Amino acid sequence: MRITRVVSATLLALGLAAGPAAADSTPSASPSEDSSAPTEAGTSFRTAAEIDQGRTVTASGSAGDYLYWSFPADAGQRPTVKAKVKLPQEHAGQTWQIDVYDGLRRRQACQYGAQARTAAPGTASVDLACVLRTVRAWSEPWADDPLPGTYYVRLTVVGLKTADLGLPMDAELRVDSEDIGGSAAVDGSLAEPLVPGVAVTSEADEEDASASAVLSSIEPEDGWSSGWWSDRWVWTAVGGILAALAGIGGYALTRGSGRPTRVPPAA
């Protein structure tokens, strides 16, 4: 009897410790510099340069260009887009802005971060940031919640004097995301991630493997998540174990220690 109690107490303690430990969210993208990172940006949704998360990419262009990149974001991630625009020594003040669009080209709101910023004349650079909402595995068609798939970043100058038009500029862009974990795990999932042209690509794959240009061939490094795993399994399982142990505890309490006093010893 005593052994059971000790074991159950230990299990209880273990369970309590393991639950939150497993549930802790860990940042997903580990920073890694790569020399093969793109040094070009696209100029439209169609030509957007495909980049990976956790990698700093660069591009050069002119003030007035619309620079496009695209990156993959999977369910449970909360992407943060950071851009740095390096301006020439002499300019008359420019306002730069980043916009993020999802795979359906719907504009995605930034929760926080300086999405647009004005560089005073003579400033060497502007830093922009946009923290997106958490990407969900599923949402109703009438909502514009972020869904797994391609995301487009557009960097452009929104306010400039004509004298500054066409001046050279350099841009740096980096996308990192925080793994929100089970608290963002929703039911339901898309059959295909929200990658433009995915229907055309899958058809082409069947017919001919060497399909040339595709709208977006983007995929996270370790593939799209299947969506069935979340730490909710751990929480629920631990909860079940704890309930069972508490049940045993409650039962044991009613039994007291040893035989009931009212029962005659000779019975």
Give the footprint of another protein on residues 6-45 (CB under 8 A). 16, 19, 23, 40, 43-45
- Applying the rule CB under 8 A, the residues between 128 and 187 that interact with another protein are 137-138, 141-142, 144, 156-159, 162-163, 165-168, 182-183, 185-187
Three-state secondary structure call for residue 196 = coil
Among 18, 190, 224, 225, binds another protein (CB under 8 A): 190
**Which residues 6+ apart lie within 8 Å of 23 measured at CB?**
181, 182, 231, 234, 235
How many other CB atoms are found less than 10 A from the CB of residue 70? Answer: 25
Q: Does 213 bind another protein (CB under 8 A)?
A: yes
How far is Cα 162 from Cα 263, in angstroms, rounded to an integer? 101
Q: Site map for another protein, 231-250, x if CB under 8 A? A: xxx-xx-xxx-xxxxxxxxx
197 contacts another protein (rule: CB under 8 A): yes
To another protein, the closest distance from the beta carbon of 32 in angstroms equals 25
Instruction: Give Cα separations from 193 to 48, 51, 244, 248 (angstroms).
Output: 18, 17, 40, 46
Distance between CA atoms of 196 and 218, rounded to whole angstroms?
Answer: 9
Nearer to another protein, 79 or 196 (CB): 196
> Counting contacts by CB under 8 A, is residue 200 touching another protein?
yes
Q: Is the Cβ of residue 32 or residue 236 nearer to another protein in the bound state?
A: 236
Spacing of C-alpha 137 from chain mean position: 11
Residue of 32, 47, 111, 118 that binds another protein (CB under 8 A):
47
3-state secondary structure of 173: strand
